[in-house]
Amino acid sequence: MALEEPKRRQRMVCLMSDEEQRIVDRYLDKYKITNKSRWLRETILTFIHKNMEEDYPTLFGEHDMRR
């Protein structure tokens, strides 16, 4: 039995300038991305996940580890 995706019920809205929208549209067109919502969601969550991994607390500070 395949696992079902959780229902997405929360909406996020952001406003873009005309130029920003053109940049996004060109990118989606260039890479033949047809599901903008999925791309935005995955892009945002990937960015957050990467930053959280980099900010993960360590036993020693960066200065101590570089000695």
Q: What is the pTM of this model?
A: 0.70
Q: How high is the pLDDT of residue 65?
A: 66
**Single-letter residue type at 49:** H
Average predicted confidence (pLDDT) for the chain: 89
Cβ atoms of residues 39 and 28 within 8 Å: yes
Angle between helices 18-30 and 36-54 (to 10 degrees): 100
- Number of residues that make up the chain: 67
Distant-in-sequence, close-in-space partners of 65: CB < 8 Å, separation ≥ 6: 58
Q: How high is the pLDDT of residue 14?
A: 95
Domain boundaries, the chain: 27-54
Q: Is the pLDDT of residue 54 over 70?
A: yes
- The tens digit of pLDDT for each residue in 17-49 reads 999 999 999 999 999 999 999 999 999 999 999
Cβ atoms of residues 32 and 24 within 8 Å: no
